[in-house]
Amino acid sequence: TRSTRPQRMLKAVQKNATKGNPESVISAIDYFCKHSEWAMNVGDEKGSILDSVVTEVNPSTVLELGTYCGYSTVRIARLLSPGTKFITLEFNPANVTVARQIIAHAGLQDKVTVVEGSSGDLIPQMKERFGITTFDFIFLDHWKDRYLPDIKLFEECGLLRKGSVLLADNVICPGAPEYLEYVRNSPRYESRYYPAHLEYTTLEDGMEKSVFLG
Ligand SMILES: O=C(c1ccccc1)c1ccc(O)c(O)c1[N+](=O)[O-]
Ligand SMILES: [Mg+2]
């Protein structure tokens, strides 16, 4: 039976990237997406914005929503200090399988825990299952209609502290209008928009960085 796009992406990484070299894994995926098949990784342009925010925050606890194939997981994990607690959630079990292999190819498997399940189910379990009290940095890159319910869930579960940083991908394309309206109008967040483009295209997109004020 025909392979899936994530499986073809994994093969490209295993063929073209050097084991233990995160930069080569990132480059191999970007090359695959530019020259073979488009895929919904955050990409190199928005990936650089992600890198700069992660570096600025230098978080001790990190949560990613929407692992997909692990591209942004590798981008984040390669920048973290030793001992950082990094969890990434993925709903699709086939994506979990591919992501774990891509993360392992980069040599970063000890830096991150890939958890299969829905964010709505798993976010309330963060404290009991992983001993997390609050997240310093959260990257939202999963189903766009989950951004708003999940940020409210973070508040309800007490998973944000004064200064927690949330970075959301695709706030323009495909778009997360209700999330944008919420974080931009809530007195509990200080928000800033980073203009960019939909990965590997010239379509307008961007990322929204929101700091929880407590
Ligand atoms: O939703 C899509 C999508 C919608 C329609 C067709 C293909 C992808 C998408 C597009 C770009 C992204 O960066 C992204 O994170 C997603 N996503 O699914 O989370
Ligand atoms: Mg995205």
Dist. CA 163–CA 57, nearest whole Å: 9
Q: Which of 90, 199, 205, 208 is catalytic?
A: 199
Q: Which of 85, 95, 170, 209 is catalytic?
A: 170
pLDDT (average), residues 155-163: 98
For residue 66, give the ligand nearest its CA. Answer: 1
85 is catalytic: no
Tell me, using a 6 A CB cutoff, whether residue 64 lines ligand 1.
Answer: no
Tell me, using a 6 A CB cutoff, whether residue 158 lines ligand 1.
Answer: no
Strand ranges across the sheet with 189-197: 113-116, 85-90, 61-65, 137-140, 165-168, 204-212, 189-197
Share of the chain above pLDDT 70, in %: 100
Q: Residue 118: what pLDDT?
A: 98
Residue nearest to atom 4 of ligand 1 (CA): 174
CA of 41 to the centre of ligand 2 (A): 6
CA of 168 to the centre of ligand 2 (A): 8
pLDDT (average), residues 176-190: 98
Q: 1 falls in which pLDDT band (50, 70, 90)? A: confident
CA of 24 to the centre of ligand 1 (A): 24
Residue nearest to atom 10 of ligand 1 (CA): 40
How crowded is the C-beta side of 8, counted as CA atoms within 13 Å? 12
pLDDT (average), residues 145-165: 98
Q: Residue 146: what pLDDT?
A: 98
CA of 46 to the centre of ligand 1 (A): 14
Q: Residue 167: what pLDDT?
A: 99
Q: Residue 43: what pLDDT?
A: 98
Q: 67 falls in which pLDDT band (50, 70, 90)? A: very high
Average pLDDT value over all residues in the chain: 98
208 is catalytic: no
